[in-house]
Structure 1
């Protein structure tokens, strides 16, 4: 009899040879899926019950699970002798285990092919590596454990989706190395929408667009990710992506493969790890960290106009404006609020004009509903339009934290060191707004300073190792590691802690 194969990279499916097995009722399938979420590991019966019945577990849950396991054994092991122990669904102390041999599932095949592709890439066989990754990704038939809900399946889905995203990024990088920029751009656009917060994937997309002469689109892709990260999580893209954005903005010839350049160019690299001859100054300024606020008068006029339009249109203008803001900001809350105001306005209109003439009260209620919804939407819209930038609020808050931390350092250096000020690589609870001591932190932490690349950070570390620690922040300029004067966007993050007491 052919071996059984389990497939979870899509709807749950089990095959024997070319035959797809009928797994029985939905709950019975969910029991098997729970076991397959952690194959070859014992899953306690209580965990199976919680996964299959997250809201209302049956009173006799253990017996129900036992019944479904028996049903699955009849399907998976039809030749098993009655009352004999199962070989695929194994009863263990306190739970059950599904025995999946090596290569017995689509996830095994997927991970094996991805590892093989990475080995091929390391050995200098990019074409073969790309084809291997293509085969691995073709195993996906849809969302893992499709149709199954609950924390167990959500966690398994996240893990498998992360593996798939990594394989997609590997293949995209290889295709970029092979010079397949044109066909890659359309594919990467769709992938960036599917994985909107993957910085590595967005970097490949930016580079592909730049190499096809679409630098503006590459920078627009960066801004899209940047705005989403700032608005939703309050963080900036990582230093690698920031560096790529700066190089694309500067039209760095080093980003174009030699075969694509019209003339041979040499990238100038000075001591600080940057090309100061570009004449653009430091790539990130304080306005990038703390965007300037809109003029107060302008904000008031915009709010007043929003209220006036809403009142003059009896609420319809406010509803339209709210729908527009919801679309621009991708805000579900604003969209729901707009629908709510529109529904209230519609109810008022029906009561006012289309109800039976049963008395003045109905007309009065309709008029009152329209008036209240109009005023409410006008006030809501006034608070919504032209707000203070979220980036500005967060930037100012971080700046205030840095000022407070410096005050602590001035008053009591020993206490500041105990709080971990300027030492973000250590475990600490104090928020210093992102201060960094270049004498203490590893190179990877230095890249958190806006505009500092990995190469630049390595030069800073080499300087402190060879010439000794920096006495002041100005030493970084004196040693040629930063331009003079020190950029404000750098100075705001740098701090020098006094030496620790012996």
Structure 2
């Protein structure tokens, strides 16, 4: 607050929103916009003189007035009348003074919301460094509550844009720190919705995307956490042509491995921290009943998974094995046995959540996976963990039958849609059918809509040419067009609305395995290729043309896939498939999918569309037992003729 000598009234200023001034809880009228802008310039430099030329440059930019000094003096005089109403006209200003360096606005500590915000953020950082995360969270919440909207709202110009960007960066850092502390306190369920909004507001801050992935994972939503990483990777690749940072990539790998270090804090610590926050936040005047304070258990919206280290000890007294599918780190030495990676199977999986659930888990190491029988075929509904354990439930063979029934149109809506063609004399039929064609992306429906439109046009043309006093040959086309659009349209819409496939999302449900689950399977398969290539070769990852039990989500190995399989990929064609085979035969296997561009085998546009499908499984080292490796297809001779090269869009 700003208290003038000899007065009891106080002033406070706000710039974290629209610039305003308050006296004793009442907002002051700061006058015209330019006068408010002059005050904002002074508030951005509190207790420091600002030259008149700097004020003119900040407020008017490249279009200053001819008598800029006099104009600034005029607005300063107007501000003095508002801020110091009891000051006599001839006396010097006590709050807004003129010095040799320019005009200075006296703002004591606590009189400007931006300074209060910074002080509270620093206090929160000190509390967090001292180990009091709950109090730090409260301080950050109090600091963020000072924001009433965009900083310096209503003021334009390069000077104000720069100041606004600086203040917004401070707010984003405070929001990120608040989310980090919330995760430390175990509030991941509450933070998920907030982090989704923050990522949309600050898409370039990788820290917020990191916290969103971690919060989703701790809520048991592993697939959505992986999807968040995929969205981040696509965003940075499309906007800037770069990959996410190392921290985000490491979190992605840790989620795939089921790293126990990502687990939420212990429940007791969360309850104690939450209770401390409620005690600090509760005001003395509030007379409310806190169910948690009264002893009732606090139930978050999403139940966090059980701790992974809660398994009972083994009979021999050794430590329990971790749960969850997690390809372990590569062994440190040749003689070191890789750690155990249990894989859930059987009833531990569910359709809605293909990830490990507590209980009913079995332990499989990569060596056991290598000894799995790679015969048979993968049912459409079998999950990666089930086929790896050799157990495919019967429900996997009837995956489509287990899907939830697609919703149908309610009968009032159906009645309205069916009645529209007769009520509009068939004129609305083509528009309604066009809607269904666009919604279902159906070419036959689009052709039907065009036919209805042609009949409607025919009706209007015939109506203009017909003679109402006598019968002409136009009468038959008019009758056909009217009956076709009215009666035929009504019957057609009745059939369309009776089909459950017309409901939104039904086509995706009938497609089989959801896209998000296929992505997870591909990530698990890629993790095996990276850490255990011998196991990947045994499981025939990237070879959908061979019988196998492991579902890799439809990956195709560029090092071993036969030419017809490569040619069947969308956008590849026979020319580039032959080129891939020739390149790997003459120059050796590809070290990564990106080598296809490095060797000038594929153009960048073609690889970009297939990057999620292609994988490069390393070949077995020389001298290794090749019995476990998948059967290689005959390669093309180096001198084989190439098919005609397709048209390249970049040419």
Residues 343-354 of structure 1: pairs in structure 2 closer than 5 A: none
By how many angstroms is 1:270 displaced? Answer: 7.2
> Does structure 1 conserve the Cα–Cα contact (< 8 Å) formed by 2:260 and 2:308?
no
Residues 218-229 of structure 1: pairs in structure 2 closer than 5 A: 218-229=225-236
Q: Measure, in 2, the Cα distance between the counterparts of 1:46 and 1:102.
A: 27
1:15 partner SS: strand
Residues 389-468 of structure 1: pairs in structure 2 closer than 5 A: none
Q: Measure, in 2, the Cα distance between the counterparts of 1:227 and 1:87.
A: 57
> Does structure 2 conserve the Cα–Cα contact (< 8 Å) formed by 1:44 and 1:96?
yes
By how many angstroms is 1:253 displaced? Answer: 2.4
2:91 partner SS: coil
Matched, 1:188 2:188: no
Hey, what does 1:158 align to over in structure 2? Answer: 165
Q: Measure, in 1, the Cα distance between the counterparts of 2:222 and 2:104.
A: 53
Hey, what does 1:115 align to over in structure 2? Answer: 122
Hey, what does 1:30 align to over in structure 2? Answer: 37
Hey, what does 1:3 align to over in structure 2? Answer: 10
Q: Deviations over 1:322-359 (max 9, x none)?
A: xx9xxxxxxxxxxxxxxxxxxxxxxxxxxxxxxxxxxx
By how many angstroms is 1:22 displaced? Answer: 0.8
Q: Are residues 234 and 93 of structure 1, via their aligned partners in 2, closer, same or farther at CA, if it must alter by over 3 Å?
A: farther
Hey, what does 2:55 align to over in structure 1? Answer: 48
By how many angstroms is 1:42 displaced? Answer: 2.6
Q: Are residues 209 and 83 of structure 1, via their aligned partners in 2, closer, same or farther at CA, if it must alter by over 3 Å?
A: same
Hey, what does 2:146 align to over in structure 1? Answer: 139
Matched, 1:170 2:177: yes
Q: Measure, in 2, the Cα distance between the counterparts of 1:258 and 1:113.
A: 26
2:97 partner SS: strand
Q: Measure, in 1, the Cα distance between the counterparts of 2:135 and 2:20.
A: 29
By how many angstroms is 1:95 displaced? Answer: 2.6
By how many angstroms is 1:399 displaced? Answer: 7.6
Q: Measure, in 2, the Cα distance between the counterparts of 1:100 and 1:269.
A: 58
> Does structure 2 conserve the Cα–Cα contact (< 8 Å) formed by 1:110 and 1:136?
yes
Hey, what does 2:208 align to over in structure 1? Answer: 201
> Does structure 2 conserve the Cα–Cα contact (< 8 Å) formed by 1:8 and 1:145?
yes
Count of residues in correspondence between the two structures: 292
Tell me which protein shows more helix as a share of its residues.
1
By how many angstroms is 1:127 displaced? Answer: 1.7
Which structure's relative contact order is higher, taking Cα pairs within 8 Å and 6+ residues apart?
1
- Structure 2 residue runs of 5 or longer lacking an equivalent are 1-7, 267-305, 311-320, 342-364, 367-437, 442-570, 573-593, 600-651
By how many angstroms is 1:94 displaced? Answer: 4.7
TM-score where L is the length of structure 1: 0.53
Q: Measure, in 1, the Cα distance between the counterparts of 2:49 and 2:184.
A: 44
1:97 partner SS: strand
Q: Measure, in 1, the Cα distance between the counterparts of 2:173 and 2:100.
A: 36
Q: Measure, in 2, the Cα distance between the counterparts of 1:258 and 1:158.
A: 35
1:43 partner SS: coil
Q: Are residues 214 and 155 of structure 1, via their aligned partners in 2, closer, same or farther at CA, if it must alter by over 3 Å?
A: same
Hey, what does 1:71 align to over in structure 2? Answer: 78
1:173 partner SS: helix
Matched, 1:130 2:133: no
By how many angstroms is 1:269 displaced? Answer: 6.6
Q: Are residues 96 and 235 of structure 1, via their aligned partners in 2, closer, same or farther at CA, if it must alter by over 3 Å?
A: farther
Q: Are residues 44 and 224 of structure 1, via their aligned partners in 2, closer, same or farther at CA, if it must alter by over 3 Å?
A: farther
Q: Deviations over 1:39-96 (max 9, x none)?
A: 2233222221122222432111111011001110111112233333323222233532
TM-score where L is the length of structure 2: 0.41
Q: Are residues 247 and 24 of structure 1, via their aligned partners in 2, closer, same or farther at CA, if it must alter by over 3 Å?
A: same
Q: Measure, in 2, the Cα distance between the counterparts of 1:194 and 1:6.
A: 27
Q: Measure, in 2, the Cα distance between the counterparts of 1:161 and 1:271.
A: 46
Q: Measure, in 2, the Cα distance between the counterparts of 1:128 and 1:207.
A: 22
Q: Measure, in 2, the Cα distance between the counterparts of 1:146 and 1:272.
A: 57
Q: Measure, in 1, the Cα distance between the counterparts of 2:137 and 2:212.
A: 17
> Does structure 1 conserve the Cα–Cα contact (< 8 Å) formed by 2:214 and 2:262?
yes
> Does structure 2 conserve the Cα–Cα contact (< 8 Å) formed by 1:197 and 1:225?
no
Residues 6-17 of structure 1: pairs in structure 2 closer than 5 A: 6-17=13-24
Q: Measure, in 1, the Cα distance between the counterparts of 2:138 and 2:198.
A: 18
Q: Deviations over 1:185-241 (max 9, x none)?
A: 111111111111111111111100001111121122222222222222333222111
2:161 partner SS: helix
Q: Are residues 249 and 53 of structure 1, via their aligned partners in 2, closer, same or farther at CA, if it must alter by over 3 Å?
A: same
Matched, 1:261 2:268: no
Hey, what does 1:86 align to over in structure 2? Answer: 93
Hey, what does 2:28 align to over in structure 1? Answer: 21
> Does structure 2 conserve the Cα–Cα contact (< 8 Å) formed by 1:37 and 1:153?
no
Q: Measure, in 1, the Cα distance between the counterparts of 2:205 and 2:338.
A: 31
By how many angstroms is 1:16 displaced? Answer: 1.3
